[in-house]
């Protein structure tokens, strides 16, 4: 870090502490492979030291499975003595945690080698390397997320979630009621606090929409001309939603498919590309006439099967798919068509963009974005045509062809020559090792359904 950069960061910390003399603690946060936020809590007196020197955390933080256990086959655990790396602050992410009773701030971190180079296994660094390809082309990626989640009761029924009772009516919602304003009113205090908390933390959330199941909602984030920052916002938003719900005696889930027979939770991404003058290179009166837009779509469609392990990284992720739930299961695209994998909203010719509609809310935003942008770059540089856009219901026109389970998705990722050119093969090996370890444990666990079916019948 240059002396000038260090001075700017220290100034940020000093100004924050002066503006918030009430702050007692600071949570230092870093997002692991699964998008789970981990880190340390320090007192305010140690913040300047963190800005000057960072904090040490083990490299194995990026070799954790969903339970938080180190997967030793990654080589990041005992093989390297569970050695530390240094985590440094991300400028502009220091903010208050509005849900805390004791005044507490938070600061997002990223991992580096002790010599200062970014650590290759940090998902944020995985994305940064892909984004650099666009920077080298003189292009800026503009991106935004739409994040779906369920409010759920803090008490489960036999280990299964249930909708929370409405603070107004005292009833549990049962109907779908998509876009219902009344359902927004039922949980208005919690939802309002989410938006207010986002504003306090500098997260550009502008709307909450009632989604397609009881107590399911979606938060829309505004576009920002920095895809890494867009992912930072998505990570911090999930934490904000969880903790705000706790304050209202509710819980939340971003699990891809928490309820059988109900819609799953998606994580849609909108992207466009700006030239050096800030013009959208996808802009066109007729999207079909824009070469850059078509080629970008073509590249994403070509890499979509190999990207599935990043878009849908868990066993449960694949339960979300189904035509009745608007989750595309084939590489497809269309204009203003919500049944396809890549939708092009066409309302404003200057704001043409690509909306990716496959990923689940359980995806790591950095890895999702990295794989999506890898496809865009591949399409632009190889001028890949996407074929004709789908009109009407794509589920009635296309057979399912994307991987429909985690094992096939991991194999497809591992074998992908294209993604291995954008994402370090060493990182892909770590990711696959972690997910295969989870898959092995899942497959050796005997489910209740197996006992119900087989214990007394075979």
What percent of the chain clears pLDDT 90, i.e. is strictly above it? 87
pLDDT the model gives residue 373: 98
Residue 247 in this model has a pLDDT that exceeds 80: yes
Phi, psi dihedral angles at 405 (to 5 degrees) = -155, 160
Residue 140 in this model has a pLDDT that exceeds 60: yes
Buried b (16+ CB within 10 A) or exposed e, 14-23: eebbeeeeeb
Q: What is the pLDDT of residues 81-110, one digit of tens each?
A: 999 999 999 999 999 999 999 999 999 999
> Chain-centre distance of CA 365, in angstroms?
3
Q: How confident is the model at residue 213 (pLDDT cuts 50, 70, 90)?
A: confident
pLDDT the model gives residue 169: 81
Phi, psi dihedral angles at 17 (to 5 degrees) = -65, -35
pLDDT the model gives residue 4: 57
Decide: 143 and 271 in contact? Cβ < 8 Å: yes
Q: How confident is the model at residue 210 (pLDDT cuts 50, 70, 90)?
A: confident
pLDDT the model gives residue 316: 97
Using CA atoms in the order 199, 1, 136, 123, what is the torsion angle rounded to 10 degrees?
-60
Phi, psi dihedral angles at 195 (to 5 degrees) = -65, -45
Residue 1 in this model has a pLDDT that exceeds 90: no
Say what the pTM is. 0.95
Domains within the chain, CATH numbers bracketed:
6-119 (3.10.20.70), 131-423 (3.30.590.10)
Q: What is the pLDDT of residues 142-173, one digit of tens each?
A: 999 999 999 999 998 888 999 999 888 888 87
Residue 5 in this model has a pLDDT that exceeds 80: no
Residue 322 in this model has a pLDDT that exceeds 80: no
What percent of the chain clears pLDDT 70, i.e. is strictly above it? 97
Cβ-Cβ contacts under 8 Å for 322 (sequence gap 6 or more) = none
User: What is the average pLDDT score of the chain?
Assistant: 94
Phi, psi dihedral angles at 245 (to 5 degrees) = -65, -40
């Amino acid at each position: 870090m240059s002396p000038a950069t260090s001075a700017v960061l220290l100034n940020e910390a000093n100004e924050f502490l002066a503006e918030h003399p009430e702050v007692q603690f600071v949570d230092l946060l870093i997002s692991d492979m699964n998008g789970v936020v981990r880190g340390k809590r320090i007192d305010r007196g140690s913040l300047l030291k963190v800005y000057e020197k960072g904090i040490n955390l083990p490299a194995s933080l990026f070799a954790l499975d969903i339970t938080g256990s180190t997967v030793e086959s990654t080589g990041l655990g005992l093989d390297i003595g569970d050695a530390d790396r240094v985590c440094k602050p991300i400028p502009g992410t220091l903010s208050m945690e509005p849900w805390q009773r004791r005044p507490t701030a938070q600061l997002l971190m990223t991992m580096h080698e002790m010599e200062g180079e970014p650590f290759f296994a940090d998902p944020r660094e995985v994305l940064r390397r892909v984004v650099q390809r666009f920077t080298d082309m003189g292009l800026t990626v503009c991106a935004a997320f739409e994040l779906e989640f369920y409010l759920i009761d803090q008490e489960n029924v036999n280990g299964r979630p249930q909708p929370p009772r409405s603070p107004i009516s005292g009833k549990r919602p049962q109907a779908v009621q998509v876009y219902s304003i009344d359902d927004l009113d039922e949980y208005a205090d919690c939802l309002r606090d989410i938006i207010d908390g986002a504003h306090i933390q500098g997260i550009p959330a502008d709307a909450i929409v009632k989604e397609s199941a009881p107590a399911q909602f979606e938060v829309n984030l505004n576009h920002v001309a920095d895809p890494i920052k867009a992912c930072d916002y998505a990570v911090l938003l999930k934490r904000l939603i969880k903790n705000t719900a706790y304050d209202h005696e509710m819980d939340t889930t971003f699990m891809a498919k928490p309820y059988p027979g109900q819609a799953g939770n998606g994580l849609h991404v909108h992207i466009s590309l700006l030239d050096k003058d800030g013009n959208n290179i996808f802009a066109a009166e007729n999207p079909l006439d824009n070469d850059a837009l078509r080629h970008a779509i073509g590249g994403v469609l070509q890499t979509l099967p190999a990207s599935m392990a990043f878009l849908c990284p868990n066993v449960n992720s694949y339960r979300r798919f189904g035509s009745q739930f608007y989750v595309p299961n084939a590489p497809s695209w269309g204009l203003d068509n919500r049944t396809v994998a890549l939708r092009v909203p066409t309302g404003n010719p200057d704001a043409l963009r690509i909306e990716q509609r496959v990923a689940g809310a359980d995806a790591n935003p950095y890895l999702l974005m990295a794989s999506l942008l890898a496809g865009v770059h591949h399409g632009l540089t190889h001028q890949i045509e996407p074929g004709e856009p789908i009109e009407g219901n794509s589920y009635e026109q296309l057979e399912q062809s994307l991987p429909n389970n985690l094992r096939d998705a991991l194999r497809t990722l591992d074998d992908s020559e294209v993604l291995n050119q954008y994402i370090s093969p060493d990182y892909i090996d770590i990711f696959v090792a972690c997910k295969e370890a989870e898959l092995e444990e899942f497959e050796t666990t005997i489910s209740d359904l197996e006992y119900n079916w087989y214990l007394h019948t075979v």
